[in-house]
Chains A and B, each alone.
Chain A
Amino acid sequence: MELYITGTGIVSGAGNSGDDNFLKEAPSYNTDKLLCIEPDYKAYIPPMQLRRMSKAVRIGIGASKMCMEAAGIEKPGAISVGTAMGCLADTEVFLGKMIAQDEQMLTPTAFIQSTHNTVSGQIALLAGCYGHNLTYVQRGHSFEHAVINTQLYLADNPHQQMLVGGIDELTDGSLEALKIAGINRKENSTPADVLNGNTHGAVAGEGAAFFIMTDAKPATPAVCIKDVYAFTEKDTAAAAQKLTNYINSQSLNLDVVILGQSGDEKSNAFYLSLCSGVFANTSQYAFKHLCGEYATSSAFALGMLTNTIAKGEALPSHCALGNEAGVLKNVLIVNHYMHYYSCFVLQIV
């Protein structure tokens, strides 16, 4: 089923979508992690509640409020969220105290906010949304499955506005683990390393990107999700072949592909083979030099596009890997995280 995106909200390492200058300038850093540059939440979250919120909840609520504001709605009909790691900071707070205090004299706040569905639950609570509410936690497909769930839900319950998001926060503990796992890079990276490097692991990231999705075509230009193709594959060459077969089966007249190129040597093999193959004649863009590498970063890529279209702009020049696109009509987002692959087939309508 086709989904139309009518609102976008992003909080990321590259800033937030509420800022007029969002993504206007090329990023500049030399770091191992791109942490969220958080907005002033005054307009979105009551201060009393803000004080009690962990970063995951803050960025999630902030992005969802921006997104609903952009779509001109007060509350969605249903909520679908993807988060690979959930509310890590609160998990670690409770875990740390539990161990340090030998399971005694503990207080519930961090535990209450540590559950994976805290963000979707808090959004429902703040908006008074009694509708369907799901949280997916499938590693590099968490956001993709939240979108597939949106297709399933709207097929059964048409004409609703559904809030859909991808969110993950980075903690010191998770960064350490992700570095050992080889997903994130131990050394610092610059934007050039992400775009052109061939390193072991990629710069770490985090962020929240939320969308209002609906099954009815809106009056103003919008991004339509025609299809979501998600698969797992251990071998990068086999993954590139699978994706090529899929693209060839879709007879797409592609203008732009947005790639999850991260500078990681294992990922590079996958992207390079596509860029010289099925995408040889397509304008290529990157996004991970903005948000870093994390499990739900495809949500950021989608948000970068939908935010661009909503503002009637072109994709940022600093994201172009070669020639910039003349036309922005048929777009693919292709992402790889560990051995989780996804492809969003998009059309601007």
Chain B
Amino acid sequence: MSDTQTFLLDGEEVPFAPGQTVIQAALAAGRYIPHLCYHPEFKPHGSCKVCTVRADGRTAAACTLPAQAGLAVESETEELKELRHTLVQMLFAEGNHFCPSCEQSGNCMLQALGYELGVMTAGFRHFFPIRPVDASHPDILLDFNRCILCELCVRASCEVDDKCVFALSGRGIGKHLIVNAESGRLADTEVALSDKSLQVCPVGVILRKRVGFAVPIGQRKYDLRPIRATALESAPRGPQAPGPCPSCEEGS
């Protein structure tokens, strides 16, 4: 193991394998960097910017930044925490995120990040955009109100399912999730319940019908344990990685 390379994360050495990104190496080493559009099974997207770190003085998304020997990465600084807090606030203000009536509440990464980052209010003026739902499919509901444009469903549908059922359309504030069908309706696509694209939504856009509230609110994933703890469990572990981090389990 003498050739193990390391970089510094908030002053502590983190080992990495060649080709790993900063977030992959950090999570594998049991070090949490808040993130939203990053998913361990998919190529990094770098769009949500929640995982922004400062590396050798420059800001970069930890999910797209290749780990390099000797790199000095800062993550848990007041500046970066404030930045992530504001990014999550803007996501809440931009969509229609009404947690009390959302079937994904308690399993939602956006909500759990809000808890993690201490987001008590969206802070900004809410957009209250008009985004009609697509209930056309007999087994699947699409609620676009909650879309955060992470493109995980787009990536999964194209890369894994080989169907490209979903896509983003428009630019800037007009950008939105669409369904690839002449009619624009999910019912007119080849989507199937077993598709990967239906399992990766971090928020509450893609929902299976008739299984709602099977687990009561208050007993769901992030109700039980903070996202800081659960994110580390689902990360692929390096051989020298320590077990679950006790300080992460305490919550904040």
Tell whether A and B belong to one assembly: no
